[in-house]
Amino acid sequence: MTLPNLKTVEVVAGLIFDQDQVLVCQRDSAGPFALKWEFPGGKLEPGEGCESALRRELKEELDIEAGRLSEIFRHEHLYPKIARVKLRFFRVEDYSGELKNLVFQQIKWIPIKELAQIDFLDGDLPIVHKLVLSYGE
C-alpha cells in the first residue's frame, strides 16, 4: 500500500546518559502527542545535517552545547495518517552547560532498566527496547 500524501519527516534524538540512567523528556500537554515521553531532539530543517540539527535542538530544548555525538540506532516509523518518520538516535558523549528544561512538561533521569515502564512515543519504542535489553534486566 502506498501513502502518496503522507509526508516524510527526518528526526534526530539525543541519548544523554549518567551512569545507568538516561535523560527523558515529557512533551507539553498542549501539543501533539501530549504528555508522551521522548528523548530530546527534533526535526531537521531544510539543508541541515543530522548532527547540527541535534546540537541546535539540544540548545533550544535543554540549553546545552553538545560535544561528540555517536549515532547508535536508526529506523523508520509510520504514524498512520500523520507522517512517515525517519529517526536517528545519537549518544551524546559529552556536553557543556547545565541542563535546563526550556520546553517540556518535565525532564527526568530514569534508570535504563525502567525505561519500558514509561509512556514513550511509538517511534521511540524500538530504541527503548534495545536499551533495556542491552542493559540486561
pLDDT (tens digit per residue) in 5-26: 789 999 999 999 999 999 999 9
pLDDT over 50 at 1, yes or no: no
Q: Provide the whole-model pTM.
A: 0.93
pLDDT at residue 97 in the model: 98
**Extents of the domains making up the chain:** 7-135
30-88 per-position pLDDT tens digit: 988 999 999 999 999 999 999 999 999 999 999 999 999 999 999 999 999 889 999 99
CATH no., domain 7-135: 3.90.79.10
Bridge partners (DSSP) of residue 12 are 42, 88
Average pLDDT, the chain: 94
